[in-house]
């Protein structure tokens, strides 16, 4: 079946540091890939997505590229801020839809001033 593997964290960075959160997946065919973010005390929000190989999703300074050859969708940001502190979930779903989303374990990011 489908699965998503991401680093557990927590990841602690200083403000303005470079962020990478690794995500790899196992799935048949070409799933859609997502990063969701959960800020403290809030629900999950869709951060970015990519639906086909080599697509780059981007939002709020975050980027992730759909790499079919390495089955990866690593999340990056060039300069993190304290307000980016949250839990980040990598996820996938069957092509063409948002049904049956499979989530990774979630990576907690803490950015310190």
Residue numbers of the site for other proteins (CB under 8 A)?
A: 4, 8, 36, 41-46, 49, 89, 96-106
Q: Which is nearer to other proteins, 44 or 86 (CB)?
A: 44
Q: Which is nearer to other proteins, 10 or 61 (CB)?
A: 10
Q: How far from each other are the two terminal CA atoms of the chain, in whole angstroms?
A: 41
The nearest distance, CB 1 to other proteins, in angstroms, is: 10
The nearest distance, CB 16 to other proteins, in angstroms, is: 29
Q: Count CA within 13 A, CB hemisphere, residue 109.
A: 28
| Ramachandran bin of 99, using left for φ above 0, alpha for ψ from -120 to 50, beta for the remaining angles | beta
């Amino acid at each position: 079946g489908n699965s998503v593997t991401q680093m557990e964290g927590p990841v602690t960075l200083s403000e303005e540091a470079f962020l990478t959160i690794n995500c790899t997946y196992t799935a048949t065919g070409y799933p859609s890939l997502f990063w969701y973010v959960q800020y403290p005390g809030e629900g999950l929000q869709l951060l970015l997505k990519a639906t086909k190989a080599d697509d780059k999703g981007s939002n709020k300074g975050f980027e992730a590229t759909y790499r079919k050859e390495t089955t990866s969708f690593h999340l990056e940001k060039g300069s993190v801020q304290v307000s980016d502190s949250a839990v980040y979930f990598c996820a996938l779903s069957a092509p063409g839809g948002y049904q049956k989303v499979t989530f990774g374990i979630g990576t907690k990011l803490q950015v310190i001033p």
